[in-house]
Amino acid sequence: MRRYLATMEYLPALVFFTIASFFASRFLIAFFPGEPFSWQAFLALAPLGREFGVLYPTSTLANGALVADGFFLIGAACLLLVSLRQWRRTRFVCFHSSLVALIFGMNDEKVWVASHNTSGGLIEYSIIPNFSQLDPIFIWLFFGVICACLTAHCDLIWWLRHRHRDVPNRA
């Protein structure tokens, strides 16, 4: 079980790498619009990255490269934090920011919508997700990131309870 949870700790980095890959697939479409691979990559990553594409419009190549590099560097930081266990608070923040990014990315797929109103009124949101329109790989990623966040919680709580046992008595 411990090995399974340790494997789940790599998934927050995968969230940021997927968002960076979405921006890279937008570059593929810009440079190679006739290639089917560029469209397949874009459509495969669109359920998670479409909201970020609206949030960060990349009107120029330099802006898009900066945004993609930013998400790539955050993912690399998450991988570094998995190996460096002494930075517990930073792991906690990075893992939970990947969960927030994943929830934000799933918003466009109407995972959190409870009712649709066609007359232009308010849309009600639900805490219980509706995964019926989402690809199973993103469902697996969602629950894996939740497991990674839980391991960060357990590690931080364990450290808070046992941090004074390692300090020698200076009486």
> pLDDT digit string (tens) for 14-33?
888 888 888 888 888 888 88
Per-residue confidence (pLDDT) for residue 4, from 0 to 100:
61
- For the whole prediction, is pTM greater than 0.85? no
Element at 114 (helix H, strand E)? strand 113-115
Task: Check if the beta carbon of residue 106 is closer than 8 Å to that of residue 142.
Answer: yes
List, in order, residues 6 or more apart from 116 with CB less than 8 Å away: 110, 123
**Cα–chain center distance at 34:** 30
pLDDT tens for residues 108-160?
777 766 666 666 555 666 677 777 777 788 888 889 999 989 988 988 888 88
- What pLDDT, on a 0 to 100 scale, did the predictor assign at position 76? 84
